[in-house]
Every structure is written in C-alpha cells, then in structure tokens.
Structure 1
Amino acid sequence: MIAGVPFFPQDDFQCGPASLAGVLNYYGLRLTPADISAEIFSRQARGTLDMDMVFYAQRKGMKAEQYAGSIEDLQRNLDSRRPLIVLIDQGYWVYQSHHFMVAVGYDESGFVFNSGKEERKLIQRDAFLKTWEKTKFWTLRITPP
C-alpha cells in the first residue's frame, strides 16, 4: 500500500479531476479537483477526456505517459511507490460507463483504489480485470521530471 496518496472524494462526473488531484498532490503539487476541472472538464462529454488528463499533467511540469498496462506493470509501479491512474468501464453490453481511479496498493485478492467517494477500496482481481480490459487496460503514469 502506498502511504500518503491524498484522497479527494469526487463530485458527479469528476473522477478524472479527483484522480489527477490525488496523484499530483502526492508529488507535491497543490491542486484541488476544482482547479483541475476548471481547465479540463468537458460538459459536452460529461467528464474528462483521457488525453486532456495527460496534457494537463504535462503542462504542470510532470512526466505523463498513457499506455496499455498489465497486472505485472501495475504491481511493479505500486511496489515502486508510484500510484497509477487507471480507466475502467463499468457499463453493460453496448453502454459504456467509464471511470478513472487511482491504484494505491494490492494484495493476493485484488487491488486497492481511491475511487469515487471511497478511499482505499479493495476490488477483487477478476472483477477489476473484467472492467479494465474493456478500456484496453488504459493506464496513466505520472512522475516528476
């Protein structure tokens, strides 16, 4: 479990700014989800676009890389005390319901996330994989320059 990753409960459709705020504050930037939302939230999309999250972190002077992750990569980053933002799809059939959350730890049963209004929420490994796979394992790693 990574200690010191700030948790920001999200408002409606604000999972992107809340996730970014948690990771950016972990690295010492003092930004609120409201600060971030004012710059990148899309009312039309009813959320935050994935590339806007990457570009926002880069504009704040951070290294930001979006890629297709894996369980091994996720564990390796968490072991190195690097929280990752992942995108899952909780939708059914053809209806998508995307959600960003911050991976902060894992154990033998699953992964621990700061997600929505829940801090350190344990999601069983198989349940997480099923929803993460639907986004092609979308992962955002943010690190200091």
Structure 2
Amino acid sequence: MTERALALLAVLFLVAGCTTAQQTHDLLDDPGALPKTAMVADVPFFPQEKYFCGPAATAMTLAWSGLPVTQEEMAEQVYTPGREGTLQPDVIAAMRRNGRLAVPVDSLRELLGEIAAGRPVLVFQNLGLKIYPRWHFAVAIGYDLDDGELIMHTGPWDNRPVALRTFEHTWRRGGYWALVALKPGEMPVAAKEAEVVRAAAGLERVNRPVDAAVAYEAILERWPHSFPAWMGLGNARYAMKNLAGAEQAWRGAIAADPQNAAPAWNNLAYVLQALGHRPQAIDAAKTAVELGDPNDPNYRATLDEITNM
C-alpha cells in the first residue's frame, strides 16, 4: 500500500459508513455461536515496507503457523516489481511451496469463526474506489462484536481496530478474497470438501507429496467417501513410491464411486503392473476402458501399453 493510499484511508472509512454492510448487520444482529470477542495470540507483526503489503501479510501468516520466514524472503516469492505489488495466485503458491494449505474464507462469519478458533486470516482489500483501486493485503487477528470492530495487522499498524462495516466494504471491493494457512492435517472451521481437496491438490502441484498425503488423510477422516480425496491420496503415495499405499487409496476411490471410477481403475492398472501383478493390471485397464468416456483415448492407451509390456 502506498503513502497516498494511506492518506485516503480515513476519508474512505467515512464514505464506507454511508452504505450498507449486510454481512456485518447480520452478524451483529445474530452472532450465533461466535464469542463476543476473540484475539489470536502471538501473531508476528512485520511493518510493511513500501509496496510490500503482500510480502508482509504472507510472512506474518506463515510465521504465525510456525515457519521462520521474513518479509524480505516472501518478497522474493510473491512480489512483482513491474506491478509494484503482489498477485493473489502468488500468495497461494507461496503458501503451498512452504507446506501450507491455502484455504479460502468465503464470508465474514467464517472469517470471524477462524479467528475465534485461534487462526489469523490473510485478507485482500481495495482501500480505494472501484474506479480508482488501491489494493492491499492485511491480516485479521481479532474482533470485538460489542464495539463492532475487527483487529488487524495492516500496513504500518499492528493491532489496529477497524470498524467491521468499513472492513466489509473494502473487502467486498477486493472480491471477498481471504485465506487461512493450515498445516497439513488441519481443517478450517467451516470446512468444505471441494475447497480443502483443492488445497491439498495444490501441495501435490508444488511437489510436496508427503504433505499432500497427510492432508488427504485428514480429509478422508471427515469425508470417508470423497472420491477426489482418495484419488489424490493415491497420487501422492505413488509419487512417494509407496505403491501398496497407492493401490489401497485407488481401491478406496473405486469403492467410493464405482460408476465413475474409470480414472481410479486406470491408475490402479499402472500400480498393479509395477507391483508385478500383470493379469490383474490388464483386468483393471480393461475395466477403465469399459467405464470411461469412449472419446477419451487415454484409457485405451493404458490398456495397450500394459498388454504389450
């Protein structure tokens, strides 16, 4: 965030107060199971260097999760000099490269729920106007519903109280984008199967199969019939050269969704062949062809490859 954006902040806070903040209104009217106040303990604070709100917020979030990172180190991973800022996909990628699940937080209620559970939330805001945006990353670390405030590490300020209504406006202009950084095996408060599976798959894509496997195992404890989690667990174990474990996972995928299990049968064929079970591998490849999309050549290619080995 630039100095000019900081100068605009107070004016924008006043402007934001003149429009509706529906999520805040609903929360204050009915907080549900949320405690009235919450504060995440021991969240590190790195005062933002110029244009480094992204590196600072990412570093604070990852440092809180137990990683010895600095703002400068994160700048090497997330800062884009040509844009004088940070792109959201780069924040997600940095979390994954450092072995953390990057899980989205979709609503203000979920955001406060994560804080109440003891986790800081990395948020993306537009502190300017729609036609003149001033993008900003910060970390939400606490709240007080009686005072209607969110507590943030933001820019040069630590533990800064911001009106929830004001935050909602700036967050909405940022597309309601927010993340929690979880260790593999942890679950967000409002866990959604598809989101945590995507987060675990992200660890696979940055070549962290051990972390991905731990994440998938936790997902399967919550959703034991999750076909994509079984598939991902098999992929992670195969990358770890745990062939027996990969076989077990892909058989779990087949049991979870037999009618749509062509990808699992296809992968199972390869691992059975690697384990020296050629007849069973051919049978698995044939089953993949029978169940799969007739227009997809991959299953037929697998069958031909294994048959001709």
Is TM (by shorter chain) over 0.5? yes
Q: Find the counterpart in structure 2 of residue 23 from structure 1.
A: 61
1:15-71 per-residue CA deviation (whole Å, 9 max, x = no partner) reads 11101111111111001000110222101111111010001110111111235x211
Partner of 1:141: 180
Structure number with the higher strand fraction is 1
Higher helix share: 2
**Equivalent residue letter for 2:165:** D
Q: How does 1:35-114 map to 2 (within 5 A)?
A: 35-67=73-105, 69-108=106-145, 109-114=148-153
Task: Please tell me whether Structure 1 or Structure 2 has the larger radius of gyration of its CA atoms.
Answer: 2
- Please state how far the C-alpha of 1:93 moved relative to its aligned partner: 4.4
Sequence identity, in percent? 31
Q: Tell me the TM-score normalised to structure 1 length.
A: 0.95
Distance 1:70 1:27 in 2: 22
Number of aligned positions between the proteins: 144
User: 1:54–1:66: 8 Å Cα contact kept in structure 2?
Assistant: no
Instruction: Check if 1:130 corresponds to 2:169.
Output: yes
Which 5+ residue runs of structure 1 have no aligned equivalent?
Answer: none
Which of 1 and 2 has higher RCO (CA within 8 Å, sep 6+)? 1
C-alpha distance in 1 between matches for 2:79 and 2:141: 24
Segments ≥4 residues shifted beyond 4 Å: none
Q: 1:82 offset after TM fit, Å? A: 1.0
Instruction: Note the C-alpha offset of 1:105.
Output: 0.4
Counterpart AA for 2:150:
F
**Deviation of the 1:90 alpha carbon:** 0.9
Partner in structure 1 of residue 215 of structure 2: none
Alignment root-mean-square deviation, CA? 1.0
Amino acid at match of 2:86: T
